[in-house]
């Protein structure tokens, strides 16, 4: 060791040693670039591997009177064909309510529902054979939209209602009132890696499932139930996903179960990989919502009463529609204090794919409704929407009041005032707004629009018991460290952040720490990597495990070197004992020889959470993340085409664990949310068939849709809650930032009528929707 290092170590305290809070590349970045990152379909296939495909329903709602699979079985390469009666255990893959069959049995409820399973020697042979079935259907009436579901009183769950104060009285006493409707469409997750499971039979009825999933423990339970086994028979492993976005939280279960059923019956490895069109036909998407609202407000635009009825398209089964609706209800306020509210959420049962989790998980759908209402109020009063937003913000202290949410949680960490003030100044919002209006006054065809929107997003699972995590940390005799935790890596960098936490705790360089595949045989009973809690929960659990090892090494060093434990420090791959840096690996070797335990398990449960589902009140969130964005667009009023010219985003990541990854997450979330609100249109024909089931018909944003001028900053903050190193989650909240894009488009359309008319613009704001809104404004 050179003298510079020695001098550095003597000065440096453990608190100053930093492997967190610094930008680091994604732990698999070099593997991604080289094409060496191994996904499920890249695992070398074992001898005897077979391939499966699903036979899908061609009717939206029908009884299956008969099914002739003779040609399927006779097709080249086919080894077996299975239907619901061949499932050895429970024919169900529903995550909460057991209303979701693996294979439909006698009744089909959407076009694309799996009704049989084909196993063949190759992937293509299985797919070709699955198309040869002859099915006799007795068609039944189909419900396709949330509006139809409400009219028919067709729901997958009982209604949810949250009331505070006296809405009717406050509404009647309000100086101004507005009533209206809004429709916001769904969104396909469009992960780059499709749904896939590779099931390998083991001895004594065991099953090892390699699965692209956000929830290995749930896959373990579903597979065990489908095979009629205990959980200890099943191991589910996931090294990484090529994207998840919520689509692999519960809906990877069908693929895991189907592959495992075939593998168990044939005692051979079976891979089930979905092609993109099958994937989109079978799986659920973000819930689309239809809203009806009544709101009262005063002369300043301050909301005095708010009532909203939101009906979601749940699809044919409950899946995660209940928690999604709950989060929508809890996020209807966004950043605004609502004194008197009446919120009704309905989960409409429709004969379409069972909708599921998607980044934001109902939060964006709840928040966009109040933002639409604020936008409406501002234009009606002739005010800048930012001023109306500020007038409605939550207060910053008990003295100010206005700091308790409609579901009863106190907002104790409100920084939205500061964030909006900083962004407003940095983006030159006020000056640019005047420039935009001047441009529009002299431009008859091209119209510009600008908008600033804020966000507040609650971090934690609404279901309290899911807020827990476990981890294992192994220190090997050579001083290297292996970490296993319950989170799953879908590109968001959770493994990188957890490795940073462990490296920081042990005073090591990040290169000394490796994170292994998520595996149900290592950390049991894990929660899904969802609700933006991946780094929060698993980071704390890994920190707990690493801390125990550090304490054991400290105690050993104090005894072996006769040192004061309080003076022992871990930094720069050394342990400083009695002022002298000792190489970490040498101390570890001596500790091993002295029979000191060099591995540990860690556990974390988020404190202070409670939720009463009956009254829809409680403290469901550990803390709130905040942010704001300004977007400027130009719209061609003859074609409906538009372009995002510039976007400024300021996001509160707390004391960021990894600013490079967090900024990347904000950028990605922004563009993905922009796609949801502008280009990504899901369309079912009258027969209930999803027609936008391939990249040729479904438009996600491309690189050309990103603004040339894209300015993303992290707000300097420190989480008031005791989160991991006082950081804040960054997975889902940024998806609300592109509300600014939608409202900038609406602002541009409003200019056609001199900003006097509220454009009736639904989402996604496709070119057709924009033209319809332009026509409506001109007609008004």
Q: Give me the active site residues, please.
A: 732
Nearest residue to 199 (alpha-carbon basis) of 90, 89, 40: 40
Nearest residue to 632 (alpha-carbon basis) of 616, 648, 652: 648
Q: How far is CA 245 from CA 42, 315, 421, 681, 720, in A?
A: 21, 19, 31, 17, 27
Kind and range of the H or E run holding 617: strand 617-619
The torsion of the CA quartet 249, 117, 84, 207, rounded to 10 degrees, works out to -60
The SS3 call for residue 368 is: helix
For residue 242, the 8-state DSSP code is S
Query: Which residues partner with 610 through β-bridges?
Result: 619
Q: How far apart are CA 771 and CA 698, in angstroms?
A: 20
Nearest residue to 199 (alpha-carbon basis) of 145, 153, 262: 262
Q: How far apart are CA 672 and CA 244, in angstroms?
A: 13
Q: What are phi and psi of 328, to 5 degrees?
A: -60, -45
Give 248's contacts (C-beta < 8 A, 6+ positions apart): 189, 191, 195, 212, 213, 214, 215, 241, 490
Q: How far apart are CA 742 and CA 644, in angstroms?
A: 10
Q: What size, in residues, is the chain? A: 780
Question: Could you tell me the two tokens for 163?
Answer: 């009331």
Give 166's contacts (C-beta < 8 A, 6+ positions apart): 340
Per the listing, tokens 């407000």 go with: 297
- Cα of first residue to Cα of last residue in the chain, in angstroms, is 79
Q: Are strands 114-120 and 50-56 parallel, antiparallel or unpaired?
A: antiparallel
Q: How far apart are CA 58 and CA 190, in angstroms?
A: 22
Q: What are phi and psi of 370, to 5 degrees?
A: -70, -30
Give 9's contacts (C-beta < 8 A, 6+ positions apart): 569, 571, 572, 574, 576, 581
Q: How far apart are CA 342 and CA 298, in angstroms?
A: 18
Kind and range of the H or E run holding 591: helix 584-593
Question: Could you tell me the two tokens for 169?
Answer: 């009285």
Q: What are phi and psi of 4, to 5 degrees?
A: -60, -45
Q: What are phi and psi of 106, to 5 degrees?
A: 90, -25
The SS3 call for residue 31 is: helix
Q: How far apart are CA 730 and CA 532, in angstroms?
A: 7
DSSP string, 96-139: SSS---SS--SEE-STT-EEEEEEESSHHHHHHHHTT-EEEEEE
- Residue 493 CA neighbour count, 13 Å, CB half: 23
Q: How far apart are CA 82 and CA 184, in angstroms?
A: 39
Nearest residue to 542 (alpha-carbon basis) of 478, 492, 481: 481
- Cis peptide bond N-terminal to 61, omega within 30: no
Contact by Cβ (8 Å): 237, 216: yes
Q: How far is CA 72 from CA 57, 118, 128, in A?
A: 15, 8, 9
DSSP string, 165-211: S-HHHHHHT-SEEEEEEEEE--B----SS--EEEEEE-STT-EEEEE
Q: Are strands 270-273 and 196-201 parallel, antiparallel or unpaired?
A: antiparallel
């Amino acid at each position: 060791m050179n003298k510079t290092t020695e001098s550095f170590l003597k000065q440096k305290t453990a608190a100053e040693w930093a492997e967190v809070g610094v930008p680091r590349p994604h732990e698999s970045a070099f593997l991604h670039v080289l094409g060496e990152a191994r996904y499920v379909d890249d695992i070398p296939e074992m001898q005897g591997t077979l391939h499966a495909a699903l036979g899908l329903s061609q009717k939206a709602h029908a009884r299956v009177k008969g099914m002739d699979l003779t040609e399927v079985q006779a097709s080249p390469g086919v080894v077996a064909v299975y239907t619901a009666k061949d499932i050895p255990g429970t024919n169900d893959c529903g995550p909460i309510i057991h209303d979701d069959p693996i294979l439909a049995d006698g009744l089909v409820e959407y076009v694309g529902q799996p009704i049989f399973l084909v196993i063949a020697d190759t992937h293509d042979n299985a797919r070709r054979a699955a198309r040869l079935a002859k099915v006799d259907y007795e068609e039944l009436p189909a419900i396709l939209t949330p509006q139809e579901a409400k009219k028919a009183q067709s729901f997958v769950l009982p209604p949810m209602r949250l009331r505070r104060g006296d809405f009717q009285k406050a509404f009647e006493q309000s100086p101004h009132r507005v009533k209206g409707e809004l429709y916001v469409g769904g969104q396909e997750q469009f992960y780059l890696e499709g749904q896939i499971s590779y099931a390998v039979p083991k001895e004594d009825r065991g099953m090892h499932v390699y699965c692209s999933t956000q929830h290995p423990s749930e896959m373990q339970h579903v597979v065990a139930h489908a095979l009629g086994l205990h959980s200890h028979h099943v191991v589910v492993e996931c090294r990484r996903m090529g994207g998840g976005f919520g689509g692999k939280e519960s809906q990877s279960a069908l693929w895991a179960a189907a592959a495992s059923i075939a593998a168990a019956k044939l005692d051979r490895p079976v891979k089930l990989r979905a092609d993109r069109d099958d994937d989109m036909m079978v799986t659920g998407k973000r819930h689309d919502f239809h809203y009806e609202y009544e709101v009262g407000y005063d002369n300043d635009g301050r909301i005095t009463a708010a009532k909203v009825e939101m009906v979601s398209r749940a699809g044919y089964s409950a899946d995660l529609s209940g928690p999604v609706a709950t989060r929508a209800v809890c996020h209807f306020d966004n950043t605004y204090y609502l004194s008197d509210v009446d919120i009704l959420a309905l989960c409409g049962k429709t004969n379409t794919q069972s909708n599921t989790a998607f980044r934001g998980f109902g939060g964006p759908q709840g928040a966009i409704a109040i933002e639409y209402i604020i936008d409406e109020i501002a234009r009606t009063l002739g005010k800048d929407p930012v001023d109306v937003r500020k007038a409605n913000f939550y207060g910053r202290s008990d003295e100010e009041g206005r700091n308790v949410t409609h579901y009863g949680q106190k907002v104790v960490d409100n920084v939205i005032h500061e964030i909006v003030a900083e962004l407003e100044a940095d983006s030159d919002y006020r000056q640019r707004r005047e420039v935009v209006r001047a441009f529009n006054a002299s431009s008859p065809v091209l119209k510009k629009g600008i908008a600033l929107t804020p966000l507040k997003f609650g971090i934690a699972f609404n279901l309290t018991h899911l807020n827990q995590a476990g981890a294992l940390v192994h220190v090997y005799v050579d001083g290297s460290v292996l970490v296993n935790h319950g989170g799953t890596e879908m590109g968001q960098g959770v493994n990188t952040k957890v490795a940073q936490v462990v490296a920081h705790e042990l005073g090591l360089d990040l290169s000394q720490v490796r994170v292994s595949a998520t595996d149900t045989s290592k950390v049991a009973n894990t929660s899904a990597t969802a609700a933006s809690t991946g780094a929060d929960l698993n980071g704390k659990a890994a920190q707990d495990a690493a801390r125990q090892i550090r304490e054991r090494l400290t105690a050993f060093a104090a005894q072996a070197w006769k040192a004061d434990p309080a003076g022992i420090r871990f930094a720069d791959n050394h342990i400083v004992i009695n002022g002298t840096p000792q190489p970490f690996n040498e101390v570890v070797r001596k500790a091993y020889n002295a029979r000191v335990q060099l591995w540990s398990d860690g556990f974390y449960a988020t404190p202070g959470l409670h939720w009463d589902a009956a009254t829809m009140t409680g403290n469901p969130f550990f803390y709130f993340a905040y942010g704001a964005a300004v977007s400027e667009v130009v719209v061609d009023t003859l074609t409906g085409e538009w372009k995002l010219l510039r976007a400024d985003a300021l996001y509160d990541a707390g004391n960021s664990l990894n600013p490079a990854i967090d900024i990347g997450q904000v950028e990605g979330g922004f563009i993905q949310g922009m796609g949801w609100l502008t280009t990504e249109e899901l369309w079912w024909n009258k027969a209930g068939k999803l027609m936008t089931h391939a990249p040729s018909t479904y438009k996600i944003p491309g690189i050309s849709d990103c603004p040339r001028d894209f300015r993303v900053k992290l707000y300097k903050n420190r989480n008031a809650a005791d989160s991991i190193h006082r950081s804040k989650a960054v997975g889902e909240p940024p998806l609300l930032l592109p509300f600014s894009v939608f409202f900038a488009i609406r602002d541009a359309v409003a200019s056609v009528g001199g900003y006097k008319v509220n454009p009736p613009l639904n989402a996604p704001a496709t070119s057709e929707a924009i033209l319809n809104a332009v026509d409506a404004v001109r007609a008004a």
